């Protein structure tokens, strides 16, 4: 019998393993894929945004309805602690202009290699290609079916997006508790473009403000053949998914009166496109969006430029989403993240029913819940 079993070798699972093994507990980590932390490595390809340089209250508010439950976990391991943890693994950190915190090397792989070396030094046994198959701790492995009878277990199986990286949600079929339905989070949206937009596919739309419901964010996004995606869209995706409309302020640094004054300059024989370019410096992709969603154009363009309504046709498929909402509800857990119906079994990370935006919130939440579950499992072992 092993002391502790961790299912899932993403950030939450590895953090739980770190806490337990540092205390001298014999830990086995079972990972279904041939290698660990694939989603973390994918995130790091465009720059590993570990956390944020932000006051705690606004940071916590980003977790929306889950904030009250997650508060003690994030107070114990929030942005400052994440930064110090990464520095303890030899990663020099820096804060970007938007408050996002990255390793100086930007990539995830150096951090992950240092972390795995530490876990190996603490005696963690890592089993890859071990796929959990049922409510008992039975695994399909290259050596055949294997059963483990741990004293404690931490489930960190991920959500239900990016199945090729390991988060396929298969565990939902046997975890033994009623789940909140999975929904895509931090995802792009379909747009049924007209033909004139084809020339702009792949173009970034920069320096805009996006509004949905009572939320307004500065950011950017990308126009693609499938629709719209990117950080600005992800930031408001929860509200868009839940039925709110999207409007875009194409010129957030100017008010309507400023726009009118500029647009009132003598146009002469200049085309509208050139007039918008000269007076507002409105680039081709912004002009294309204005024509796509604003026709027939009104005489007064200022209100339309400040609040362009964008017609969406629903979210992209869940497997394309960066993360998912839904999963194990907090009502099925106690304050230690232990399943009420399964003493000694804890859950952490994206398999819990919470969602957070990208930009450091999501990853910090996974690390914090993994650490909390690991500490809770350790306390359970010490009590036994």
The domains located in the chain, with CATH, are 4-184+321-383 (3.50.50.60), 189-310 (no CATH)
Residue 252 Cα to chain centre, angstroms? 26
State the Cα–Cα distance between residues 23 and 15, nearest whole angstrom: 13
pLDDT at residue 134, as a whole number: 87
pLDDT reading at 367 higher than 80: yes
43 within 8 A of 363, measured Cβ to Cβ: yes
Q: What is the pLDDT of residues 220-258, one digit of tens each?
A: 999 999 999 999 999 999 999 999 999 999 999 999 999
State the Cα–Cα distance between residues 132 and 153, nearest whole angstrom: 13
pLDDT at residue 268, as a whole number: 80
Peptide bond into 296 cis (omega under 30): yes
Percentage of residues in the chain having pLDDT higher than 70: 100
Q: What is the CA radius of gyration of the chain?
A: 24
Nearest Cα to Cα of residue 326 among 203, 180, 189, 216: 180
Q: Quick one: average pLDDT of 16-24?
A: 98
Q: What is the pLDDT of residues 274-310, one digit of tens each?
A: 999 999 999 999 999 999 999 999 999 999 999 999 9
Q: Quick one: average pLDDT of 31-54?
A: 93
In the structure encoding, which two tokens stand for residue 89, read together? Answer: 């693994």
State the Cα–Cα distance between residues 374 and 14, nearest whole angstrom: 9
Q: Give, as one character, the DSSP assignment of residue 186.
A: S
pLDDT at residue 1, as a whole number: 67
In the structure encoding, which two tokens stand for residue 133, read together? Answer: 């198959």
Nearest Cα to Cα of residue 57 among 66, 67, 47: 67
Alpha-carbon separation of residue 295 from 247, 307, 359 (angstroms): 15, 14, 34
In the structure encoding, which two tokens stand for residue 248, read together? Answer: 């875009």
State the Cα–Cα distance between residues 188 and 224, nearest whole angstrom: 10
pLDDT at residue 266, as a whole number: 82
Q: Quick one: average pLDDT of 6-15?
A: 98
Taking the model in full, what pTM does it have? Answer: 0.93
First to last CA, the chain: 15
Q: What is the pLDDT of residues 140-174, one digit of tens each?
A: 999 999 999 999 999 999 999 989 989 999 999 99
39 within 8 A of 324, measured Cβ to Cβ: no
Alpha-carbon separation of residue 64 from 22, 43, 59 (angstroms): 33, 23, 10
State the Cα–Cα distance between residues 198 and 144, nearest whole angstrom: 51
Alpha-carbon separation of residue 352 from 35, 118, 120, 250, 260 (angstroms): 23, 27, 27, 37, 49
State the Cα–Cα distance between residues 232 and 222, nearest whole angstrom: 9
Q: Which of 41-45, 216-220, 256-260, 340-344 has the lowest mean pLDDT?
A: 41-45
232 within 8 A of 210, measured Cβ to Cβ: yes
H-helix segments, 23-166: 38-44, 56-61, 67-76, 79-88, 109-121
State the Cα–Cα distance between residues 241 and 323, nearest whole angstrom: 13
Residue 272 Cα to chain centre, angstroms? 40
Phi, psi for residue 244 in degrees, rounded to 5 = -80, 150
Number of other CB atoms surrounding residue 90 within 10 Å: 14
Cα torsion for 349, 353, 357, 360, to the nearest 10°?
Answer: -20
State the Cα–Cα distance between residues 262 and 170, nearest whole angstrom: 57
Q: Name the packing angle between helices 109-121 and 11-22 (round to 10°).
A: 30
pLDDT at residue 172, as a whole number: 94
Q: In sequence order, which residues have a C-beta less than 8 Å from that of residue 171 and are 6 or more positions away?
A: 7, 132, 155, 157, 351
Q: How confident is the model at residue 88 (pLDDT cuts 50, 70, 90)?
A: very high
Residue 32 Cα to chain centre, angstroms? 21
């Amino acid at each position: 019998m092993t002391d502790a079993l961790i299912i899932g070798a993403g950030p939450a699972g590895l953090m739980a393993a770190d806490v337990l093994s540092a205390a001298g507990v014999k830990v086995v980590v079972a990972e279904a894929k041939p290698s660990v932390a694939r989603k973390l490595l994918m995130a790091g390809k465009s720059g590993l945004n570990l956390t944020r340089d932000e006051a705690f209250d606004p940071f916590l508010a980003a977790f929306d309805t889950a904030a009250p439950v997650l508060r003690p976990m994030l107070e114990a391991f929030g942005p400052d602690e994440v930064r110090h943890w990464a520095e303890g693994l030899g990663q020099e950190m820096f804060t970007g202009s938007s408050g996002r915190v990255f390793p100086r090397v930007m990539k995830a792989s150096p951090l992950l290699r240092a972390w795995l070396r530490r876990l190996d030094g603490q005696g963690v046994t890592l089993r890859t290609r071990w796929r959990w198959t049922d409510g008992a701790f039975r695994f399909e492995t290259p050596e055949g079916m294997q059963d483990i009878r741990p004293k404690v277990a931490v489930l960190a199986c991920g959500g239900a997006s990016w199945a090729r990286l390991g988060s396929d949600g298969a565990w939902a079929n046997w975890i033994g508790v009623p789940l909140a339905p999975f929904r895509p989070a931090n995802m792009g949206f379909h747009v049924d473009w007209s033909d004139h937009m084809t020339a702009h596919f792949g173009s970034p739309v920069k320096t805009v403000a996006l509004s949905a419901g009572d939320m307004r964010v500065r950011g950017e996004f990308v126009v693609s053949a499938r629709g719209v995606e990117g950080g600005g869209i992800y930031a408001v995706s929860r509200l868009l998914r839940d039925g709110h409309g999207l409007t875009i302020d194409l010129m957030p640094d100017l008010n309507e009166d400023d726009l009118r004054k500029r647009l009132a300059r003598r146009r002469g024989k200049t085309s509208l496109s050139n007039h918008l370019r000269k007076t507002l410096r409105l680039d081709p992709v912004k002009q294309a969006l204005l024509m796509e969603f604003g026709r027939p154009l009104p005489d007064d363009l200022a209100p339309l430029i400040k609040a362009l309504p964008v017609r969406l046709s629903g979210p992209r498929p869940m497997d394309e989403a960066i993360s998912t909402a839904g999963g194990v509800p907090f009502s099925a857990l106690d304050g230690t993240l232990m399943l009420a119906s399964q003493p000694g079994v804890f859950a952490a990370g994206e398999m819990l029913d919470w969602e957070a935006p990208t930009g450091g919130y999501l990853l910090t939440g996974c690390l914090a819940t993994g650490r909390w579950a690991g500490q809770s499992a350790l306390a359970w072992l010490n009590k036994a």
